Amino acid sequence: MNAAAPHVPVLLHEVIAGLDPKTDETHIDGTFGAGGYSKAILEKGAKVIAFDRDPDAIREGSNLVAESGERLTLVPERFSRMRQALADRDVDQVDGVALDIGVSSMQLDRAERGFSFQSDGPLDMRMGQEGQSAADFVNEAGEEEIADILYHYGEEPKSRRVARAIVAARPITRTGELAAVVRKALGHHAGMKKDPATRTFQAIRIHLNQELQELEGGLEAAEQILKPGGRLAVVTFHSLEDRVVKRFLKARSGAVPSGSRHLPAAKSTGPASTFEAVTKPVRAGEAETRLNPRARSATLRVARRTAASPWTEGTPS
Protein backbone atom coordinates (compact mmCIF):
# COMPACT_ATOMS: atom_id res chain seq x y z
CA MET A 1 0.00 0.00 0.00
CA ASN A 2 1.28 3.45 -0.85
CA ALA A 3 2.56 4.92 2.41
CA ALA A 4 1.60 8.45 1.38
CA ALA A 5 -2.01 7.47 0.82
CA PRO A 6 -2.72 4.39 2.95
CA HIS A 7 -6.50 4.41 2.53
CA VAL A 8 -7.02 5.01 -1.18
CA PRO A 9 -10.55 4.01 -2.26
CA VAL A 10 -10.31 1.50 -5.08
CA LEU A 11 -11.81 2.35 -8.50
CA LEU A 12 -13.10 5.63 -7.04
CA HIS A 13 -13.75 7.43 -10.32
CA GLU A 14 -15.45 4.39 -11.83
CA VAL A 15 -17.66 3.87 -8.76
CA ILE A 16 -18.74 7.52 -8.72
CA ALA A 17 -19.42 7.43 -12.47
CA GLY A 18 -21.59 4.36 -11.96
CA LEU A 19 -23.53 5.90 -9.08
CA ASP A 20 -23.81 9.30 -10.84
CA PRO A 21 -24.79 11.10 -7.60
CA LYS A 22 -26.64 14.42 -7.93
CA THR A 23 -27.62 17.27 -5.64
CA ASP A 24 -30.42 16.36 -3.22
CA GLU A 25 -30.13 12.63 -3.92
CA THR A 26 -29.50 10.16 -1.09
CA HIS A 27 -26.88 7.46 -1.47
CA ILE A 28 -25.75 4.57 0.72
CA ASP A 29 -22.09 3.86 1.37
CA GLY A 30 -22.44 0.35 2.75
CA THR A 31 -18.77 0.03 3.67
CA PHE A 32 -17.64 3.41 5.03
CA GLY A 33 -14.08 2.48 6.08
CA ALA A 34 -11.99 5.66 5.80
CA GLY A 35 -14.82 7.44 4.00
CA GLY A 36 -13.36 7.65 0.50
CA TYR A 37 -16.54 6.92 -1.42
CA SER A 38 -18.66 8.97 1.00
CA LYS A 39 -16.48 12.05 0.53
CA ALA A 40 -16.68 11.78 -3.26
CA ILE A 41 -20.47 11.39 -3.17
CA LEU A 42 -20.82 14.37 -0.82
CA GLU A 43 -18.72 16.46 -3.21
CA LYS A 44 -21.39 15.86 -5.85
CA GLY A 45 -24.00 17.45 -3.58
CA ALA A 46 -25.79 14.28 -2.50
CA LYS A 47 -26.57 13.15 1.02
CA VAL A 48 -24.89 9.96 2.30
CA ILE A 49 -25.98 7.37 4.82
CA ALA A 50 -22.88 5.31 5.55
CA PHE A 51 -22.71 1.95 7.30
CA ASP A 52 -19.81 0.22 9.02
CA ARG A 53 -19.81 -2.47 11.70
CA ASP A 54 -16.30 -1.45 12.80
CA PRO A 55 -16.47 0.94 15.78
CA ASP A 56 -13.10 2.46 14.77
CA ALA A 57 -14.46 3.52 11.37
CA ILE A 58 -17.55 5.12 12.90
CA ARG A 59 -15.54 6.97 15.55
CA GLU A 60 -12.91 8.21 13.14
CA GLY A 61 -15.54 9.34 10.63
CA SER A 62 -17.29 11.65 13.09
CA ASN A 63 -15.34 14.69 11.90
CA LEU A 64 -16.63 14.20 8.37
CA VAL A 65 -20.20 14.38 9.67
CA ALA A 66 -19.60 17.94 10.90
CA GLU A 67 -17.62 18.90 7.80
CA SER A 68 -20.46 17.76 5.56
CA GLY A 69 -22.98 20.04 7.25
CA GLU A 70 -24.83 16.99 8.55
CA ARG A 71 -25.34 15.63 5.00
CA LEU A 72 -23.51 12.50 6.17
CA THR A 73 -25.13 10.06 8.59
CA LEU A 74 -22.99 7.30 10.10
CA VAL A 75 -24.70 4.06 11.11
CA PRO A 76 -22.80 1.51 13.26
CA GLU A 77 -24.40 -1.50 11.60
CA ARG A 78 -23.79 -4.30 9.10
CA PHE A 79 -24.78 -3.32 5.57
CA SER A 80 -26.98 -6.42 5.31
CA ARG A 81 -29.31 -4.57 7.71
CA MET A 82 -29.59 -1.44 5.57
CA ARG A 83 -33.31 -1.77 5.07
CA GLN A 84 -34.12 -2.04 8.77
CA ALA A 85 -31.75 0.80 9.68
CA LEU A 86 -33.25 3.10 7.05
CA ALA A 87 -36.77 2.30 8.19
CA ASP A 88 -35.75 3.30 11.72
CA ARG A 89 -34.76 6.68 10.25
CA ASP A 90 -37.95 7.08 8.20
CA VAL A 91 -36.08 6.58 4.92
CA ASP A 92 -37.91 4.41 2.41
CA GLN A 93 -35.83 4.48 -0.78
CA VAL A 94 -32.46 5.80 -1.95
CA ASP A 95 -30.82 6.73 -5.25
CA GLY A 96 -27.65 4.68 -5.02
CA VAL A 97 -25.82 1.98 -3.08
CA ALA A 98 -22.04 1.46 -3.06
CA LEU A 99 -20.42 -1.64 -1.53
CA ASP A 100 -16.65 -2.18 -1.23
CA ILE A 101 -16.47 -5.79 -0.08
CA GLY A 102 -13.95 -7.44 2.22
CA VAL A 103 -11.40 -6.11 4.67
CA SER A 104 -10.56 -2.41 4.65
CA SER A 105 -7.09 -0.93 4.32
CA MET A 106 -7.53 0.57 7.80
CA GLN A 107 -8.02 -2.90 9.26
CA LEU A 108 -5.16 -4.46 7.30
CA ASP A 109 -2.70 -1.71 8.15
CA ARG A 110 -3.19 -1.90 11.93
CA ALA A 111 -1.27 -4.80 13.44
CA GLU A 112 -3.38 -4.73 16.60
CA ARG A 113 -6.47 -5.70 14.58
CA GLY A 114 -4.86 -9.00 13.64
CA PHE A 115 -5.98 -9.19 10.01
CA SER A 116 -2.59 -9.34 8.32
CA PHE A 117 0.65 -11.25 8.72
CA GLN A 118 2.66 -8.35 7.28
CA SER A 119 3.12 -7.09 10.85
CA ASP A 120 2.86 -9.33 13.90
CA GLY A 121 -0.13 -8.73 16.14
CA PRO A 122 -2.81 -10.49 18.19
CA LEU A 123 -4.74 -13.02 16.10
CA ASP A 124 -8.11 -11.24 15.98
CA MET A 125 -9.70 -10.46 12.53
CA ARG A 126 -13.08 -9.34 13.92
CA MET A 127 -14.51 -6.49 11.84
CA GLY A 128 -17.10 -5.65 14.48
CA GLN A 129 -14.65 -6.21 17.36
CA GLU A 130 -16.99 -8.68 19.05
CA GLY A 131 -17.67 -12.42 18.98
CA GLN A 132 -15.26 -15.25 18.21
CA SER A 133 -11.73 -14.16 17.34
CA ALA A 134 -9.37 -15.86 14.92
CA ALA A 135 -7.36 -17.13 17.90
CA ASP A 136 -10.52 -18.65 19.38
CA PHE A 137 -11.25 -20.38 16.09
CA VAL A 138 -7.81 -21.89 15.40
CA ASN A 139 -7.44 -23.04 19.00
CA GLU A 140 -10.94 -24.46 19.54
CA ALA A 141 -12.26 -25.72 16.19
CA GLY A 142 -11.84 -29.33 15.14
CA GLU A 143 -9.31 -30.27 12.49
CA GLU A 144 -12.00 -31.22 9.98
CA GLU A 145 -13.85 -27.93 10.44
CA ILE A 146 -10.66 -25.93 9.99
CA ALA A 147 -9.84 -27.86 6.82
CA ASP A 148 -13.32 -27.28 5.39
CA ILE A 149 -13.13 -23.53 6.09
CA LEU A 150 -9.70 -23.25 4.46
CA TYR A 151 -10.88 -25.19 1.40
CA HIS A 152 -14.19 -23.40 0.83
CA TYR A 153 -13.26 -19.83 1.77
CA GLY A 154 -9.56 -19.81 0.96
CA GLU A 155 -9.58 -22.26 -1.94
CA GLU A 156 -6.59 -23.87 -0.26
CA PRO A 157 -5.86 -27.14 -2.12
CA LYS A 158 -3.83 -28.54 0.79
CA SER A 159 -6.34 -27.55 3.46
CA ARG A 160 -6.09 -30.81 5.40
CA ARG A 161 -2.32 -30.57 5.68
CA VAL A 162 -2.59 -26.99 6.95
CA ALA A 163 -5.37 -27.91 9.40
CA ARG A 164 -3.26 -30.74 10.87
CA ALA A 165 -0.35 -28.36 11.30
CA ILE A 166 -2.53 -25.75 13.02
CA VAL A 167 -3.96 -28.28 15.49
CA ALA A 168 -0.48 -29.64 16.23
CA ALA A 169 0.88 -26.14 16.90
CA ARG A 170 -1.79 -25.01 19.37
CA PRO A 171 -2.03 -22.66 21.16
CA ILE A 172 -1.59 -19.99 18.47
CA THR A 173 -2.23 -16.40 19.54
CA ARG A 174 -0.31 -14.17 17.10
CA THR A 175 -0.60 -13.50 13.38
CA GLY A 176 3.11 -14.20 12.97
CA GLU A 177 2.74 -17.59 14.66
CA LEU A 178 -0.11 -18.66 12.39
CA ALA A 179 1.69 -17.49 9.26
CA ALA A 180 4.82 -19.42 10.29
CA VAL A 181 2.80 -22.62 10.86
CA VAL A 182 1.14 -22.37 7.44
CA ARG A 183 4.39 -21.57 5.65
CA LYS A 184 6.13 -24.54 7.24
CA ALA A 185 3.24 -26.85 6.30
CA LEU A 186 3.16 -25.72 2.67
CA GLY A 187 6.78 -24.90 2.05
CA HIS A 188 7.90 -21.31 1.71
CA HIS A 189 10.96 -19.80 0.11
CA ALA A 190 12.13 -16.37 -0.91
CA GLY A 191 10.91 -15.24 -4.27
CA MET A 192 7.52 -16.93 -4.13
CA LYS A 193 4.96 -14.81 -5.98
CA LYS A 194 2.33 -15.23 -3.26
CA ASP A 195 2.81 -15.97 0.42
CA PRO A 196 1.26 -19.41 1.11
CA ALA A 197 -0.33 -18.04 4.30
CA THR A 198 -2.55 -15.66 2.29
CA ARG A 199 -5.28 -18.21 1.57
CA THR A 200 -5.51 -19.34 5.19
CA PHE A 201 -5.82 -15.79 6.51
CA GLN A 202 -8.47 -14.98 3.90
CA ALA A 203 -10.49 -18.09 4.75
CA ILE A 204 -10.51 -17.54 8.51
CA ARG A 205 -11.42 -13.86 8.09
CA ILE A 206 -14.30 -14.61 5.73
CA HIS A 207 -15.61 -17.31 8.05
CA LEU A 208 -15.44 -15.25 11.24
CA ASN A 209 -17.12 -12.20 9.71
CA GLN A 210 -19.62 -14.17 7.60
CA GLU A 211 -18.54 -12.05 4.65
CA LEU A 212 -20.24 -13.98 1.85
CA GLN A 213 -23.51 -14.20 3.77
CA GLU A 214 -23.24 -10.46 4.47
CA LEU A 215 -22.69 -9.80 0.77
CA GLU A 216 -25.76 -11.79 -0.21
CA GLY A 217 -27.80 -9.96 2.44
CA GLY A 218 -26.45 -6.59 1.30
CA LEU A 219 -27.38 -7.22 -2.32
CA GLU A 220 -30.91 -8.22 -1.33
CA ALA A 221 -31.18 -5.15 0.91
CA ALA A 222 -30.05 -2.91 -1.96
CA GLU A 223 -32.74 -4.43 -4.17
CA GLN A 224 -35.31 -3.53 -1.51
CA ILE A 225 -34.26 0.10 -0.95
CA LEU A 226 -33.21 1.37 -4.38
CA LYS A 227 -35.66 3.58 -6.25
CA PRO A 228 -36.54 2.78 -9.87
CA GLY A 229 -33.51 4.07 -11.77
CA GLY A 230 -31.32 3.81 -8.65
CA ARG A 231 -27.76 2.59 -9.14
CA LEU A 232 -25.87 -0.24 -7.48
CA ALA A 233 -22.05 -0.35 -7.56
CA VAL A 234 -20.19 -3.27 -5.99
CA VAL A 235 -16.41 -3.68 -5.75
CA THR A 236 -15.09 -7.16 -4.96
CA PHE A 237 -11.55 -8.43 -4.42
CA HIS A 238 -11.55 -12.16 -5.12
CA SER A 239 -13.45 -14.74 -7.12
CA LEU A 240 -15.67 -15.92 -4.27
CA GLU A 241 -17.10 -12.42 -3.77
CA ASP A 242 -17.39 -11.63 -7.46
CA ARG A 243 -19.18 -14.93 -8.09
CA VAL A 244 -21.90 -13.95 -5.58
CA VAL A 245 -22.40 -10.54 -7.24
CA LYS A 246 -22.31 -11.95 -10.76
CA ARG A 247 -24.84 -14.67 -9.90
CA PHE A 248 -27.17 -12.18 -8.17
CA LEU A 249 -27.17 -9.67 -11.03
CA LYS A 250 -27.51 -12.38 -13.65
CA ALA A 251 -30.61 -13.75 -11.95
CA ARG A 252 -32.14 -10.38 -11.09
CA SER A 253 -31.62 -9.02 -14.62
CA GLY A 254 -33.31 -12.02 -16.20
CA ALA A 255 -30.19 -13.11 -18.06
CA VAL A 256 -30.90 -16.40 -19.84
CA PRO A 257 -29.15 -18.26 -22.67
CA SER A 258 -29.77 -16.61 -26.04
CA GLY A 259 -30.39 -19.88 -27.88
CA SER A 260 -29.22 -20.90 -31.35
CA ARG A 261 -30.71 -21.88 -34.71
CA HIS A 262 -31.08 -25.41 -33.33
CA LEU A 263 -32.53 -24.41 -29.95
CA PRO A 264 -34.87 -21.45 -29.37
CA ALA A 265 -34.01 -18.91 -26.72
CA ALA A 266 -35.14 -19.76 -23.23
CA LYS A 267 -37.95 -17.72 -21.74
CA SER A 268 -37.78 -16.42 -18.22
CA THR A 269 -40.64 -17.73 -16.12
CA GLY A 270 -39.53 -16.19 -12.84
CA PRO A 271 -40.24 -12.79 -11.27
CA ALA A 272 -39.77 -9.61 -13.29
CA SER A 273 -36.20 -8.32 -13.58
CA THR A 274 -35.27 -5.95 -10.77
CA PHE A 275 -31.99 -4.80 -12.35
CA GLU A 276 -30.98 -3.75 -15.85
CA ALA A 277 -28.06 -2.13 -17.66
CA VAL A 278 -25.63 -4.47 -15.90
CA THR A 279 -22.12 -3.41 -16.88
CA LYS A 280 -19.29 -5.67 -17.88
CA PRO A 281 -16.77 -6.11 -15.06
CA VAL A 282 -14.50 -3.08 -14.66
CA ARG A 283 -10.95 -3.48 -13.41
CA ALA A 284 -8.29 -1.00 -12.38
CA GLY A 285 -5.82 0.25 -14.94
CA GLU A 286 -2.05 0.08 -14.73
CA ALA A 287 -1.72 3.60 -13.31
CA GLU A 288 -4.04 2.87 -10.38
CA THR A 289 -2.55 -0.51 -9.54
CA ARG A 290 0.92 1.02 -9.54
CA LEU A 291 -0.18 3.62 -6.96
CA ASN A 292 -2.51 1.29 -5.03
CA PRO A 293 -1.54 -2.42 -5.23
CA ARG A 294 -4.82 -3.43 -3.53
CA ALA A 295 -6.64 -2.37 -6.71
CA ARG A 296 -4.96 -5.13 -8.71
CA SER A 297 -7.55 -7.73 -7.70
CA ALA A 298 -10.58 -5.41 -7.66
CA THR A 299 -13.64 -5.92 -9.88
CA LEU A 300 -16.50 -3.42 -10.17
CA ARG A 301 -20.00 -4.32 -11.33
CA VAL A 302 -22.71 -1.68 -11.75
CA ALA A 303 -26.45 -2.09 -12.42
CA ARG A 304 -29.59 0.05 -12.50
CA ARG A 305 -32.77 -0.72 -10.57
CA THR A 306 -35.96 -1.27 -12.54
CA ALA A 307 -39.48 -0.50 -11.31
CA ALA A 308 -40.25 -4.19 -10.70
CA SER A 309 -41.11 -5.36 -7.19
CA PRO A 310 -38.26 -6.92 -5.21
CA TRP A 311 -38.04 -10.67 -5.39
CA THR A 312 -39.64 -12.32 -2.42
CA GLU A 313 -37.43 -14.01 0.16
CA GLY A 314 -36.54 -17.49 -0.89
CA THR A 315 -36.88 -16.90 -4.64
CA PRO A 316 -34.31 -19.13 -6.38
CA SER A 317 -31.28 -17.25 -7.69
- Residues 117 and 101 both lie in one domain: no
- Residues 120 and 191 both lie in one domain: yes
Nearest to 79 by CA among 136, 37, 16: 37
Q: Is residue 198 part of a domain?
A: yes
- Residues 96 and 228 both lie in one domain: yes
For the stretch 272-302, pLDDT in tens is 999 999 999 999 999 999 888 888 999 999 9
- Residues 99 and 219 both lie in one domain: yes
Q: What is the CATH number of the domain that holds 239?
A: 3.40.50.150
**What is the C-alpha separation between 40 and 73, in angstroms, rounded?**
15
Residue 60 is predicted with a pLDDT of: 92
Residue 189 is predicted with a pLDDT of: 77
The number of domains in the chain is: 2
Please state, as a whole number, how many other Cβ atoms lie within 10 Å of the Cβ of residue 312: 7
Q: Where are the alpha helices (DSSP H) in 142-191?
A: 143-154, 159-169, 175-186
Q: How many CA atoms lie within 13 A of 10 on its CB side?
A: 31
Q: Is residue 314 part of a domain?
A: no
Q: Is residue 2 part of a domain?
A: no
**What is the C-alpha separation between 130 and 92, in angstroms, rounded?**
30
Domain that holds residue 230: 12-106+211-305
Radius of gyration of the chain (CA): 21
Residue 269 is predicted with a pLDDT of: 63
Residue 259 is predicted with a pLDDT of: 46
In sequence order, the β-bridge partners of residue 100 are: 235
Instruction: Determine if residue 24 is left, alpha or beta; phi over 0 gives left, psi from -120 to 50 gives alpha, anything else beta.
Output: left
Residue 266 is predicted with a pLDDT of: 54
For the stretch 119-141, pLDDT in tens is 899 999 999 999 999 999 999 99
Residue 294 is predicted with a pLDDT of: 82
- Residues 127 and 60 both lie in one domain: no
Q: What is the CATH number of the domain that holds 181?
A: 1.10.150.170
- Residues 170 and 232 both lie in one domain: no
Q: Is residue 312 part of a domain?
A: no
Q: Is residue 234 part of a domain?
A: yes
Residue 3 is predicted with a pLDDT of: 39
Nearest to 79 by CA among 208, 214, 244: 214
- Residue 92 in contact with residue 85, Cβ under 8 Å? no
- Mean pLDDT for back-to-back runs of 10 residues, the chain (317 residues): 56 97 97 95 98 94 93 96 96 97 78 87 94 97 98 97 98 97 90 88 96 97 98 96 97 70 56 96 93 90 97 54
- Residues 139 and 258 both lie in one domain: no
